[in-house]
Amino acid sequence: MNPGTAQTWCQIAIVFGIIFTALATYGSYHFDKKAKVIENKKQQENQQIITSKLDEVLESTGNENRTKLLEKYPAGYVLFGVDLLNTRTTFLFPRKSDLSKEYEFDWNNVEIEKLEPNLLTILMPNIRYKPLDTRIMGCTLPIPRRPLGKEIRHPIKWRDERHIIFYELLKDDNQQLIFVIGFRKTE
């Protein structure tokens, strides 16, 4: 092959390379955009499922709904369900709030420590109060099983705290326990 023909083939290869690069760049951009649309749609669907499940769970308590919980705990709440067959928390529904500015929670360690006929002892979430960089870890809290709906205030108070933490048992039957950790601003 003579050098002129080889150079022509190299130039053709470069042109094809530029075309393929342009197509690949456009494809990456286009499909990334589509993937983000699909991801947003999935997030919206998941939020609808969570909201629907939350309504279902609250209806099962007989006397609670999201509006009542928001009135009781306007700064936010987290709802937990416990399967009594294995006494471990099986789901949680957080209500988004601005508490993350002051607190950091590790919800993963919340579980039933002890289940007695008249008392439920819960291993509470690890809490970090950011303004003082103070932590509560491994704290258990006994909650009476009767009457349902009795609020228990978290026993620890921080200097200059702006929120109060409450615990409440919403449902207690042979199959399931539902409790809430709620937050109110201090007076």
- Please tell me whether residues 137 and 115 are part of one structural domain: yes
**Among candidate residues 21, 36, 60, the one where a domain is terminated:** 60
* Cα–Cα nearest to 187, from 163, 156, 152: 163
**Among candidate residues 39, 60, 81, the one where a domain is terminated:** 60
- Please tell me whether residues 113 and 51 are part of one structural domain: no
pLDDT tens string 139-170: 888 888 888 878 888 777 777 777 888 888 88
- DSSP reduced 3-state for 29: helix
- Please tell me whether residues 126 and 154 are part of one structural domain: yes
- Please tell me whether residues 12 and 83 are part of one structural domain: no
- Please tell me whether residues 73 and 113 are part of one structural domain: yes
- Please tell me whether residues 27 and 119 are part of one structural domain: no
Q: Which two three-digit tokens encode residue 81?
A: 């369900």
Report H helices in 61-184: 66-72
- Please tell me whether residues 102 and 14 are part of one structural domain: no
- Please tell me whether residues 50 and 85 are part of one structural domain: no
- Please tell me whether residues 180 and 95 are part of one structural domain: yes
| Number of domains composing the chain | 2
| Cβ 184 vs Cβ 74: under 8 Å | yes
For 62, residues 6+ apart whose C-beta sits below 8 A from its C-beta are 171
- Please tell me whether residues 85 and 55 are part of one structural domain: no
- Please tell me whether residues 145 and 108 are part of one structural domain: yes
Mean pLDDT across 24-33: 90
pLDDT tens string 33-81: 888 888 888 877 766 665 666 666 666 666 666 778 888 888 888 887 7
**Among candidate residues 12, 42, 60, the one where a domain is terminated:** 60
Distance CA 89, CA 97 (A): 22
The confidence score (pLDDT) of residue 19 equals 92
DSSP H/E element including 167: strand 163-172
Distance CA 121, CA 158 (A): 23
Residue span of the structural domain in which 29 resides: 1-60
- Please tell me whether residues 53 and 85 are part of one structural domain: no
